A and B are shown apart, each in its own frame.
Chain A
Amino acid sequence: MQLPSRLFLSTLLAGGVLLTSCQPSKPSVKIGINAELTGEMPAVGASCKQAAELFVEQVNAKGGVPVGGTTIPLKLVIVDNSAKADQSAAAAQRLVSQEQALVLVGPNASSCAIPAAEIAESLGVLMISPWSTNPKTTVSSATGKPKQNIFRSCFTDLFEAPILARFAAKNLHAKTAAVLYDMSSEAPSSQAKLFQEAFEKEGGKVVAMETYSTGDRDFSAQLTKLSGSAPDIIFLPAYYNDAPLIAEQARRLGIKAPFLGSDAWSSPDIIKLDAGKNLEGSYFCNHYSPEGANLKAKQFIADYKARYGSDPDDVAALTYDAMGEAVGAVTAAGKLDRTAVRDAMSGTRTFDGVTGHARFDVGSRDPAKSAVIMQIKDGGFHWVATVEP
């Protein structure tokens, strides 16, 4: 196995390396989607992908994106990040360097969005996260000032947590609360801490803060500890795959306190996974409600349902808006240049999409938007209240 195999293998190596750098050359507006298609929360990735594809179909049906006088077709490149932080960073790297994406949309989970944002920022590419609520996504970890290239379509935990705290104190009449959250995940951690601050400002008392890690399945130790402090409610800012499991184990341990969730609950799959109906009657916060939909939203819901057979959830709606914002920036820039597109986005002050009216204040990367409180009831989500910014 000496000379011939060496030659063969070196050719293979060289060929492989060259192959990986091949590029197609027709002009198109390339948007890179960095989504959680596999791993812990595939329903989130699926919603994101479907909404993006619907958007692209609709735009291309009209000929494409109007850029500087001509219309250029819109193209999607989708990369899976498996809901993992390091893979998200690598995916962002890939989308920018290999796929030559003009704008990045996604990731959705904050744990994935934050590292991807670092990469996008250092490479100077506009990135819009549809669903990430952790404030850190748009803020530079080094300087504490807002990043230049990173935006989001949704509100942040700084807006959400106080709303939930107030709801717990005033509407649910809770004086004491316990919190159980995933400490290895960005969004739940920030929501837990901000909820604690806000709830105590409302005059309540947080009697227990318990933690678990992503992938844990046994919460009996933490729940046993929690029940000892007899809270009025349990704040559970967990993703849709964890919340039913935790609720089930809690009920089995005899814990009767009601649960309160964050926007992390918002996938309808949460009801599918909640076989024992342990979350029935629980409230949570969401980005939009099909029941309170405006005209644009109604059209979007109808189109989405016709195409995919189910109602869009908030991830889908926010992705649709993120795509709209991205494409709007490209049109405003007038050319396929990353810096120009980014500047155009910075110049955007308002955006009216399917999730309502978004207001981007000067220098802010996070829109001021309204939130909705929903309740899980009778196998579905029901609108309870809307809170304006």
Chain B
Amino acid sequence: MGSLNYFCQQAINALQLGSIYALIALGYSMVYGVLSMINFAHGDVFMLGAFFCLLLVALVPVPFWLALIIVMGSTALLGTLIERFAYRPLRKAPRVSAIITALGCGLVIQNVTLGFSPYARRMPSLLDITTYQFGGLSISTLQILIIGISLSLMVLLDYLIRRTPFGMAMRAISFDRATVPLLGVPANTVITITFAVGAALGGAAGLLYGLAYPVISPTMGIAVGWKAFVAAVIGGIGNMRGAVLGAFLLGGVEVITVTLLPSTYRDLVVYSLLLVILVFKPYGLLGKPPLQKV
């Protein structure tokens, strides 16, 4: 009974971690889908989600749900600003320039935040958390909330992509960006909204992560955001379902690794897994190779 308990407990830990990764990974995949670019700044948008919450609650004490909505709105706005001023001018430039700009933007965001807050901060607790214990298993309302909210947002996104005209436009643009405007679809608007939605999800992830692990620091973007990026790549970057698959897979692998080996092996296992998967499936588990015109 003891080891079943243990296994279930670790499974819950993995689910929580995977849910947060999934929210972030979706942002990466969405942007890659429409623009074929890796938005390296996304990890830092996630980080800002937590910091915006900190700032917000310090100024105006708001209840959890309101904070979540405001934070998601703020990061959405940030995402659109980054797209408008840093990425849009480079639409016609070689891919390398766009990636480097993204990397640069992410680092600027991180280091500006470091400038304002050179050390870790305690996240305010927005909720009263009760822990339920049954049969030796501990589940807290926080874990249930995180998993619940993440899953709901994912389902919402899936609906958005598959059942709405906007989603259809998004998928059209990722298929062939050049032709879509000819068909009367406002490509720029769709792209901007895609960024906004992706960033909003990232911001939500940041807030939830901050609640689960209440000490936040500006270097969170690299630590957590990049893992989510790996998750998106493992699943097949550009593919929404792949991102979610990759995220939960990664969460599970990380938890298993820390159980069996010292925690310093975590990164090693994660990135080796990435390499192995890419060697055998160069476009990720669910990804498809892009057509290359000669």
Name, among B114, B122, B129, B136, the residue most crowded by chain A CB atoms within 10 Å (CB to CB): B122
Judge whether A245 and B215 touch: CB under 8 Å.
yes
Q: What secondary structure prevails in chain B residues at the interface with A?
A: mixed
B133: Cβ under 8 A from any A Cβ: yes
Judge whether B118 and A42 touch: CB under 8 Å.
yes
A38-B119, A211-B262, A253-B138 given; A221·B215 CB < 8 A: no
B213: Cβ under 8 A from any A Cβ: yes
B17: Cβ under 8 A from any A Cβ: yes
| A260-308 at interface with B (beta carbon < 8 Å) | 272-273, 275
In the complex, chain A residues whose CB is within 8 Å of the CB of B258: 221-222
In the complex, identify which listed stretch (B2-10, B32-40, B88-96, B98-106) lies at the interface while the others stay far away: B2-10
In the complex, chain B residues whose CB is within 8 Å of the CB of A213: 263-264
Partner of A245, one of B2, B131, B213, B259: B213
B204: Cβ under 8 A from any A Cβ: no
A221-B255, A224-B10, A228-B2 given; A40·B119 CB < 8 A: yes
7 shortest interchain CB distances as A-B pairs: A38-B118, A217-B213, A221-B258, A42-B119, A220-B13, A254-B138, A212-B263
Name, among B9, B129, B223, B259, the residue most crowded by chain A CB atoms within 10 Å (CB to CB): B9
Name, among B129, B133, B258, the residue most crowded by chain A CB atoms within 10 Å (CB to CB): B258
B125: Cβ under 8 A from any A Cβ: yes
Distance, CA A184 to CA B267, complexed state (A): 14
In the complex, chain A residues whose CB is within 8 Å of the CB of B133: 254
Partner of A275, one of B10, B122, B255: B122
A173: Cβ under 8 A from any B Cβ: no
30 A-B pairs (CB sep. < 8 Å): A38-B114, A38-B118, A38-B119, A42-B119, A183-B263, A184-B264, A211-B262, A213-B263, A213-B264, A215-B223, A218-B13, A218-B212, A220-B9, A221-B10, A221-B13, A221-B258, A221-B263, A224-B9, A224-B10, A224-B13, A225-B6, A245-B213, A245-B215, A252-B140, A253-B9, A253-B138, A254-B131, A254-B133, A254-B136, A273-B122
| B63-107 at interface with A (beta carbon < 8 Å) | none
Distance, CA A272 to CA B119, complexed state (A): 15
| A237-260 at interface with B (beta carbon < 8 Å) | 241, 245, 248, 252-254
Name, among A38, A221, A241, A245, the residue most crowded by chain B CB atoms within 10 Å (CB to CB): A221
B192: Cβ under 8 A from any A Cβ: no
Name, among B10, B131, B136, B213, the residue most crowded by chain A CB atoms within 10 Å (CB to CB): B213
A184-B264, A215-B223, A222-B258 given; A273·B215 CB < 8 A: yes
B167: Cβ under 8 A from any A Cβ: no
Distance, CA A218 to CA B118, complexed state (A): 21
A37: Cβ under 8 A from any B Cβ: yes
B219: Cβ under 8 A from any A Cβ: yes
Distance, CA A273 to CA B213, complexed state (A): 12
| B190-228 at interface with A (beta carbon < 8 Å) | 212-215, 217, 219, 223
B186 to A: closest C-beta gap in Å: 38
A39: Cβ under 8 A from any B Cβ: yes
A38-B119, A40-B119 given; A222·B223 CB < 8 A: no
Q: How many residues of B contact A (CB 8 A)?
A: 31
A39-B119, A222-B258, A245-B215 given; A252·B263 CB < 8 A: no
Name, among B9, B213, B263, the residue most crowded by chain A CB atoms within 10 Å (CB to CB): B263
A378: Cβ under 8 A from any B Cβ: no
In the complex, chain A residues whose CB is within 8 Å of the CB of B10: 220-221, 224
B202 to A: closest C-beta gap in Å: 18
A218-B17, A218-B213, A245-B214 given; A183·B120 CB < 8 A: no
Judge whether B262 and A183 touch: CB under 8 Å.
yes
Distance, CA A38 to CA B115, complexed state (A): 10
A241-B120, A253-B138, A254-B131 given; A224·B6 CB < 8 A: yes
In the complex, chain B residues whose CB is within 8 Å of the CB of A38: 114, 118-119
Judge whether B215 and A217 touch: CB under 8 Å.
yes
Distance, CA A41 to CA B215, complexed state (A): 12
In the complex, chain B residues whose CB is within 8 Å of the CB of A218: 13, 17, 212-213
